[in-house]
Structure 1
């Protein structure tokens, strides 16, 4: 008699009823989404659909107006650095690197949340600090080897080709040892060869036991990559399912072609929400921006400097 053992996938991310309003405009409305261990989930939708706003709600950059975001059963605090400490890392649509630091130093920044040494230990540079520093350096080099950047560890980040800068962002996010990695348009601006390399890298990340949630506009890439795909239209989840189900849904096709369907928002409503999001980002208090940048550098770093 043969006994079959079934393994139930753990729910890594559970977003329930997430809503984000800017004044009287709603950018994300009652979105439910789960990501399980060993799974790659895609989030698609036309421009202005609320995908990045939803990501910001998941990672503490925005505090949702309504709803709850949990990681492995624990509600995430609305602070980016605490979300990172909990085990959730992300990259951004626009590359944010320390451009005047080396490739290795950028990854070491991402290691910050996993080191236990405090201020006095760093100032005194005792045995404990030196040991932690050596361990961080070893882990950073492992990640550079994993992403194919080890040979350029001493290069300045700004001197890397575009595709390798994307890889470096991912390596830095991985330095925090996340259980869930959120990727915001990881292949934006890449050529077909770089896109294929990014796909292989994401599969390799998944094979290490890290769940992945990815936003992407390249439909061929997303449908080849993901186990499940959810489509947002004007902040609402239109459909969710296997790549075959989603790409065969007439409403998804209509949304991308700009063809109206029942309940679809008008162009004016789309423009209003996009303007509200931009205004919210521009009017963020200086201290909040500073706090956000300081905390997110543990996985992402500041926006790329202009040489």
Structure 2
């Protein structure tokens, strides 16, 4: 019986390695060439034990959050494993975000792997022991408390994705500005970019790993001053240089998540390449970034000796 097979495997493997689907068939369908005909295989169905209904409001909420995260309307019992229902590590991270929003409790991905059922997570939510229950209060400042503050939920998700993708630059956000007409003041531009980085702490934040979880280390402005590299390039090679710059991977543990290069073209114009890691920017903040950069640059060109932001 599939459920017996699953229990046998579950006794010997971690939960996330236990197959989500087990389907018994009399024989494997084959093509005329003798190869397995994958299209003829029956659709898999999740193995679900006899379901127990939620007993508390917390369990009811967690059942709903399971369904939302897994994007399913199928019935979910409090003993059903998140991973047997189709979950994986990325969805587990999303589930912890939903739990934090709905229940005000911060769980870790490790918690989900260790207690992958509604019943198990409900115990953690209600247990003041190992789980960091209370969300930190909103306090003005840059994490001057005891030790580096934990990453936000969005930051933790992107930190995890960046780690899973290794050397991928998929989460780099490249931005390009053509500086026509000449007259660029490179020193003023570098000071202006420094003013923007000083104002927005996420642009000068690196991430330390503490007990397997990311924590923010917000650098003081004097240690996070960006430098703008200048490079002369043939106009026909500009696209290739921009792509190469956008493809450079950030080391989130050691370098701030923004860098800039000014490409001086042979026709006398210049192009500013800005690359920001997605952990520090989104679709809305891009407009704020450029508005602040423009304002700071105008002030620095005008002789301002300190930031106007």
TM-score over 0.5 for the pair:
no
Give the TM-score taking structure 1 as reference length. Answer: 0.23
Return the structure number with greater relative CO, CA threshold 8 A, min gap 6: 1
Higher gyration radius (CA): 2
